[in-house]
Structures are given as structure tokens and as C-alpha cells.
Structure 1
């Protein structure tokens, strides 16, 4: 039975998401809320944690793999490996801490550098802790205009109120994969046509 279960799981589409952002912005709280439906107030991660969950995305069963980075962002080689393995990124800052918002530009630069060969990288800018409106330091307009400048979506969320950002990102990852598959298939068929023509010429 277990083999059948693992077989069916391995046939599901897998979307790899990387959580990126300064320490203390709530990356782990968002991840744990999504994984286990619980809000963890004081979680101090010392290492990166990886999570995998089966979810239903627009009526289709898929798997999401979340890497919650923590601490190792200081080591360039480790960080680059994480970024290389990701298919989509949640760039998280806290709306109560302007410094964490400023830091998103640097994180984005690092992602773009590592993924330089890719055309469009699925990325969402996430303003976390939206339940702490009275302590807001980052105006919505400022965050929105930065996201527009980067050509990405901006969302505000809170690990407390369970507003979900993972599905938005998975949709972007899925769209990218679909367009890549389309391109690959298109190239293959044009290659086949060419080789067929060449064979005809030989006759």
C-alpha cells in the first residue's frame, strides 16, 4: 500500500517555493501556519527548514515544497544553492519595519543573479504582519509601487489571520512551467519537421 501511495504522490506536480527575507519578518510563522494551521508567535529558527505538503490548487492535487531560509543567508554559497533550487520566491518583509522592506531589493538582486538564465522568475513581494496596522512603517503605496517597478505582484498578509499567499505563487510557477513545456514541444516539432524535410531531399 505504501508503495502505491508514494507512487501516486511522486506523480503529482511539485512546486518548489523559497521563503526569503530578513530575520524576524515572519517567514517561519507564515510557513507553519500554512503547513499546520497554527500560529507560532515566537519561533527562532537557526537553520533552514524544508516542508512538503499535498494541496488542492484550482481543483488539481499538487505538492508544494517550501524551503524556509534562516540564518544561512550570510553564507553566499549556501544561499545561492537555495535560490538555484527554487522555482518561485516569496520575498517577505514586515510592514512594521521599514528596514526589512529596504532589504527586499538586495534579496531580489541575489535571486536575479543566481537565476540569470531564466526569463521570468515567479516572485511575490509579501508585506507580513498586516494585523499590526497601528505599527505600520511601510505605506501600501510605497510597497505597491516597488512591486510594480519590478513587474511582480504585491500582497499583504498575516500569519495570524491566515490570509494565504502560497497559492498565488504556485499559480505563477504553474503558468511558467506550462509555457516552458509549450516552448519545448514547439521546438521539438519544428525540429522533427526539419529532419523530415531533410530526409525527403535525400530521396
Structure 2
């Protein structure tokens, strides 16, 4: 038993990230660049792949689990299951494609509906920042949407690796903060319960 407890204590924190966004915006390219430091240009459309990697987050070794979803999930039920399992979301669009930016609103709505809460770790990511000459979505426009949702907006390039680590690490920090918050809330509830129990017991003794 002590061994099991020690193993438990040594288990690394695991942060579950879900990649969402329209097809062809670079979700897989961002994931593969983060995982393996390589840019994969001609990537077969994803079915849904899961990746896991050990990283050092602010001095602490943790694991990140990345689920790279397909742009168009065939079944809403499967998509909802993915969203339910996620702790944080990178919502990706391409700055060269305004339709993909419009679609981010639908993805956000679906995520909030499945999670049944507003306060979900979430980053809005404008990918393909290396294609500035083909930009269709302005920085201000994207920032305005992020502000409206009270989330961060970051532009990335899976090709040049610009801000690739940043979006994954920023999201992990949000997930970690959220877990700490939830831990405190649970502890608070436990304390309140045990206090109520002690008061009840004291009443019985009298």
C-alpha cells in the first residue's frame, strides 16, 4: 500500500487539451509542431488523434494530453464526448480564411453547452500568421471577439513555430489554475460539512 501511495504522489499532473476548429486551419500542424518540432504541410485530414508528452511547466514536470479532432466530426454525440473529456480548448482558425473565423463562435457555443458553464480554459488562436499577405481576418477583429468572450487571443504559425509553445503552455496554466480553484472549493465544502457535523455531534452529546 505505501508503494501505491508513493506512486500516486509521483504521478504527474495531466492536463487534457482539445484542438477545435474548422478543417484545414492547421490544428494538426500546430499539434505536430508542438509534439515533434516539425512542420507537416500535406497532412491527411484527421480522424481524431491523441498525443501525450511530458513537459516542464513553470518548473514542474507535467503531462499534456492533446486530442486533435477532425474539423467536421461525423456524429454530434462523438464530438460532445470529446468536449466533455477536455479540460481546456485551443480554438483555431486561419487568418487567411474568414469562414474559419466565423465558425469559432459555433465551436465555442458547443463547448459551453456540453461543459454547462462559462468559465472554461479556452484560447482563441489565429494560425498561419506567416501568410500575412493573404490575411482576411484582422487582428483587431479577432481581439474584439476574444475580449467579448473574456479569453486570450494569440496568433501562431505552425510553419515558423511562432507562438506554438506559447498557446499550449498558456492553456496549461489556465487549466492548472482552474483545477486549483476547484480544489479549494471542494476543500471549503468539506470543511463546512465537517464543521456542521461537529456541531451536530456536540448537540447530541448535550
Whether the 8 Å contact between 2:29 and 2:41 is mirrored in structure 1 is yes
Q: Secondary structure at the match of 2:41?
A: coil
| Structure 1 alignment gaps of length 5 or more | none
Residue 119 to residue 110, structure 1, CA distance change in 2 (3 Å): closer
4+ residue segments displaced more than 4 Å? 7-10
Contact 2:21 2:71 in 1 (8 A): no
1:135 matched to 2:123? The reply is no
Q: What TM-score, normalized to structure 1?
A: 0.93
| Aligned residues of 1:95 and 1:128 also touching (Cα < 8 A) | yes
Residues 9-65 of structure 1, C-alpha deviations (whole Å, 9 max, x = no match):
971000000000000000000000000010111112341000000000010000000
| 1:199 alignment partner, one of 198, 201, 206 | 201
Contact 2:31-2:66 within 8 A present in 1 as well? yes
Alignment partner for residue 169 of structure 1, among 165, 168, 171? Answer: 171
Alpha carbons of 1:16 and 1:172: their partners in 2 closer, same or farther (altered >3 Å)?
A: same
> How does 1:11-30 map onto structure 2 within 5 Å?
11-30=11-30
* Residue aligned with 1:29, SS: helix
1: CA distance between counterparts of 2:72 and 2:136? Answer: 27
Match in the other structure for 1:39: 39
- Contact (CA 8 Å) 2:26, 2:158: kept in 1 or not? yes
Q: Output one character per residue of 1:51-96: Cα deviation in whole Å (capped at 9) or x when no partner.
A: 0000000100000000000155231011001001000000000000
CA RMSD of aligned residues (A): 1.6
Paired residues, number: 197
Distance 1:18 1:10 in 2: 25
Tell me if the contact between 1:47 and 1:72 (Cα under 8 Å) persists in the aligned partners: no
Task: Tell me the residue number matched to 1:85.
Answer: 85
